[in-house]
Amino acid sequence: MTTLRRTLSTYDLTLLVIGNVIGSGIFLVPPEVLNQAGSVRVALLAWLLGGVLSLFGALSYGELGAMDRSSGGLYAFIREAFGRFPAFVYGWTLFFVIGSGTIATLAVATAGYMGQFADLTPLARKIIAVLIIVIMTTINVRGTRQSASVQNWATWIKVTAILAMSAVLLTMGHGGEAASEPFVGASSGSMVSAMGLAMISVLWAYEGWQYVTFSAGEALEPQRSLPRAIAFGTLALVAIYMLANWAYLAALGPAGVAASERVAGDATAAVLGPWAGRAIAVAIIISMYSAAHATVITSPRVYYTMARDGTFFAKLAEVHPRFGTPAFAIIASSLWTMVLAWSGTFEQLLTYVVFVGWIFYALGAAAVIVMRFKRPDVERPFKVPGYPLTPLLFVLAAIALVGNTVVTQPGRAAIGLGVVLLSSPAYWIWARRRVTDSR
């Protein structure tokens, strides 16, 4: 059987982490965080702590990734620690909602931002969104190395754009004085409760670094490259996010940031003039394309692994003999993504289900502790620093985020959990077939 080719270096994986996380969030979320935090210092602290907690999760996954050199990442971690059923539920949800819905969201948003340069009808935007998905699918099917190169360039372009924007805003704005300006936002209550509210939005903005683990089966020296890439990528994200937030404050001041709906565009327009709106739109388009492209690279590796386990469509386990990619897994997931993008149903699906992903992220970090007991003698080229506190803190943060959704939006949480559990009948069908085939 043809297997996946190992072509991804530490450099590729690091840029994959950064590219997967930076989408549209850093261009839109800071005002919400500032209002929830109630003050500049609490908001900046929330961004810093959110990055630290994400780093704790990244280091935890680094230990697991160094142990398991195969594809599947988080799916495989959950399978080994907690069994096939919860792993299948995660993979099923990733295929039908989280992964596909994320790509559809970014593709449609990219098409929407193109409206800055030409008047587009709703039909034209749908067509453009589908064409974007077709382009990403074609690049990914034809080779992992080729796809990674495109991703690397797209990530560098958007990181350079953010750094350049931040430099201009800090130079021409109010500089470091912005953080000391008094500001009282919409948040009321104690600093702890304000921090908790702000952290939820911050963690959403940092979400996505775990996708790189899906590509472990194509990593060169995964025992070394995967933990390094996750750690380096997450640290870089913390620095980029902190710098961007400081730059927005320098350009608009705290009250201006809090009142903004499109903070990146408003900040650049305030400093450089209205024409800057189009320049930042280009950066956002590239940023969202890069995030979508990174998800197309990584997510199909989970479906490929599920199929090899006998718990998903068997065709998805095939590797293209010429290109060395899980071509059928890429095409199948992309076709479903196109359906979501064309129909517009991805918004409703993501609204109800995306929070459930954090349950699985918590299981991934908890798997570090479980595997220390289940397989104490397995070689661990990388061990998470601060064990067991590091994974425990990440698990608690994930539980808090999910718990907040359940308490504040019980209806949404119930629907989301219900949609996810619809995967149960499918699992038992595939599990029975796998048992039958093994006889």
Asked if pLDDT for residue 184 goes beyond 70, the answer is: no
Q: Comparing 99 with 116, which gets the higher pLDDT?
A: 99
**What's the sign of the alpha-carbon dihedral 388, 75, 398, 32?**
positive
pLDDT of res. 87 = 92
Rounded distance between C-alpha atoms, residue 15 and residue 233, angstroms: 7
Asked if pLDDT for residue 371 goes beyond 60, the answer is: yes
The amino acid at residue 262 is R
How many domains does the chain fold into? 1
DSSP state for residue 8 in the 8-state scheme: B
Rounded distance between C-alpha atoms, residue 191 and residue 181, angstroms: 17
Q: Is residue 329 assigned to a domain?
A: yes
pLDDT digits (tens, 9 = 90+) for 374-418: 988 888 888 899 999 999 999 998 888 888 778 877 887 888 888
- Count of helix runs (H) and strand runs (E) in the chain: 20, 0
Which whole number is the average pLDDT over 249-269?
A: 88
What is the pTM (predicted TM-score) of this model?
A: 0.86
Q: Is residue 157 classed exposed, middle or buried when 0-12, 13-18 and 19+ CB atoms within 10 A define those classes?
A: middle
- Give the contacts of 428 (CB within 8 A, at least 6 positions apart): none
pLDDT of res. 136 = 94
Rounded distance between C-alpha atoms, residue 338 and residue 133, angstroms: 7
The amino acid at residue 1 is M
Asked if pLDDT for residue 192 goes beyond 70, the answer is: no
Rounded distance between C-alpha atoms, residue 381 and residue 360, angstroms: 24
The residues facing 219 across adjacent strands are 8
pLDDT of res. 439 = 52
pLDDT of res. 392 = 95
Q: Is residue 210 assigned to a domain?
A: yes
CA dihedral 120, 122, 124, 128 (to 10 degrees): 100
Domain with 266 in it: 10-438
Give the domain CATH number at 170.
1.20.1740.10
CB 355 within 8 A of CB 402: yes
**What's the sign of the alpha-carbon dihedral 312, 414, 29, 196?**
negative
Which whole number is the average pLDDT over 5-18?
A: 89
Asked if pLDDT for residue 116 goes beyond 90, the answer is: no
Which whole number is the average pLDDT over 107-127?
A: 85
Q: Is residue 2 assigned to a domain?
A: no
Which whole number is the average pLDDT over 212-224?
A: 82
pLDDT digits (tens, 9 = 90+) for 267-308: 898 888 877 777 888 888 898 899 999 999 889 999 999 998
